[in-house]
């Protein structure tokens, strides 16, 4: 199980400073959508420059203009970029094509994606599938439940990620149900009193 650190709602300099404190405990570093929309591709470029050995995920949440956005992310230094599962299939197809050309990875964000749409996406076997309870669903509804996901949709070799309000407490049940290859942790690390300690604890649970 890999830990992806999600960086959101902060300055680029804060993101770099915070990541320095926790980098030994995390595997992938996500430049959050809020950083991209606030600061543009500079956020991706500066994070890759600061952490060249890490896998950088650009959470660009593409839903159109796929070639342009994905090329922009990979040119800026991203190793993984995200596309919405609710996009038209032609958009996801274009993301896969660009990622293949750059030898990079597509993460399909399944936020609000129906079972029916998911079935259509299962042909993209090289993608990472991110089961995602959105920030707004967490904050407005208090929801952070990945328990309802039908794991049978996925083939045995497919890569699953999980995002949305994951804490040390919820990680254990998540392993028992969805058992994702990648867990995406945001505020449970970034807003912890001691982020290095919090990240180290996730690393311990993950290594169990």
The residues in 79-118 that bind a copy of itself, with binding defined as CB under 8 A, are 84, 86-88, 90-91, 93-94, 111-112
| Nearer of residues 1 and 189 to a copy of itself, judged by Cβ | 189
| Segment interacting with a copy of itself, rule: CB under 8 A, options 41-49, 148-156, 172-180, 196-204 | 41-49
Closest CA to 162 of 91, 154, 149, 115: 149
Q: Which listed residue (30, 46, 69, 131) binds a copy of itself by CB under 8 A?
A: 69
DSSP 117-143: HHHHHTT-TTSEEEEE--HHHHHHH--
Q: Does 11 bind a copy of itself (CB under 8 A)?
A: no
Q: Does 121 bind a copy of itself (CB under 8 A)?
A: no
Residue with tokens 């996801």: 92
Contact partners, residue 145, CB within 8 Å, separation at least 6: 133
Return the DSSP state at 150.
-
Q: How far is the CB of 8 from a copy of itself (least distance, A)?
A: 7
What are the start-end ranges of the E strands in 144-206? Answer: 159-163, 182-185
The residues in 147-166 that bind a copy of itself, with binding defined as CB under 8 A, are none
Q: What angle do CA 72, 38, 97 make, to 5 degrees?
A: 20
Query: Residues interacting with a copy of itself, by CB under 8 A?
Result: 8-9, 33-34, 36-43, 60-61, 63-66, 68-69, 72, 84, 86-88, 90-91, 93-94, 111-112, 134-137, 140-141
């Amino acid at each position: 199980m890999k830990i992806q650190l999600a960086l959101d709602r902060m300055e680029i300099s804060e993101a770099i400073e915070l990541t320095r404190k926790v980098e030994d405990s995390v595997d992938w570093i996500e430049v959050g959508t809020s950083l991209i929309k606030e600061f543009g591709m500079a956020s991706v470029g500066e994070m890759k420059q600061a952490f060249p050995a890490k896998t950088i995920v650009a959470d660009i949440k593409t839903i159109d203009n796929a070639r342009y956005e994905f090329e922009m992310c990979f040119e800026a230094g991203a190793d993984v970029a995200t596309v919405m599962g609710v996009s038209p299939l032609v958009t996801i197809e274009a993301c896969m094509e660009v990622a293949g050309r750059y030898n990079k990875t597509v993460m399909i964000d399944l936020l609000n994606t129906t079972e029916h749409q998911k079935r259509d996406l299962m042909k993209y076997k090289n993608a990472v599938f991110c089961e995602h309870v959105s920030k707004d669903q967490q904050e407005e509804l208090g929801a952070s439940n990945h328990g309802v996901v039908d794991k049978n949709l996925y083939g045995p070799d497919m890569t699953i990620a999980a995002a949305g309000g994951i804490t040390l407490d919820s990680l254990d049940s998540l392993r028992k149900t969805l058992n994702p290859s990648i867990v995406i942790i945001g505020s449970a690390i970034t807003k912890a009193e001691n982020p290095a300690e919090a990240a180290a604890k996730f690393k311990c649970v993950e290594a169990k």
